[in-house]
Structures are given as C-alpha cells and as structure tokens.
C-alpha cells in the first residue's frame, strides 16, 4: 500500500490535507484509508463522490503509467436536445 497526501474532500476551502493509503487498481486506485490530521480514519463516513475525488487525484497526480487511463471508463454525456 502506498500513502500519499491529498486534498481533504470535506474541506470546502481546499486547504486541509489528508493522508490516503491506497493500492493500485484499474482503472482507479483502491482507497484503503483516509487519515485526517488527528489520525482519524475518515473513509467509512465518506460519500462515493468524495472517494471518487480522491481516486481521481491519485490517478492523475501520483499514478503510475498513463495518468488518463481512467478516462476510457468515463461515462459519455449526450448533448442536450435542441429546442426550437
């Protein structure tokens, strides 16, 4: 498992950091723990969206190999229908 400091997804200012322990996974890393400054594990209380933010940060900034490999698994969003 690899530890890495990431932005705290619960901090609206983006100033706080958390220590994220993860293992490589495809297409995104698998998060094992998210420790705050006091050593509390925040992972059990994080939403799927917060976990995804951490996974993307690790994949893009700290991942090995192709940092954009996860984009092949992104959902395409269709354009809004034209009115008129």
Task: For the chain, 84 residues long, give each residue's pLDDT as a single digit of tens.
Answer: 789 999 999 998 989 999 999 998 877 889 999 999 999 999 999 999 999 999 988 888 877 655 556 555 555 545 555 555
Which residue's structure tokens are 């050593």?
Answer: 39
**Model-level pTM?**
0.73
E-state strands within 1-84: 2-7, 17-23, 30-35
Q: In what order do the strands lie in the sheet with 30-35?
A: 2-7, 17-23, 30-35
Coil, helix or strand at residue 70: helix
Q: Examine residue 64 and say whether the peptide bond preceding it is cis (omega within 30 degrees of 0).
A: no
């Amino acid at each position: 498992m690899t530890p890495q400091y990431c932005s705290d997804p619960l901090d609206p200012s983006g100033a706080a950091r958390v220590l994220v322990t993860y293992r490589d996974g495809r297409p995104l890393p698998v998060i094992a723990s998210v420790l705050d400054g006091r050593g509390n594990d925040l992972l059990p209380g994080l939403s799927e969206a917060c976990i995804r933010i951490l996974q993307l940060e690790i994949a893009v900034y700290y991942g090995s190999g192709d940092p954009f490999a996860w984009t092949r698994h992104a959902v395409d969003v269709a354009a809004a229908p034209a009115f008129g």
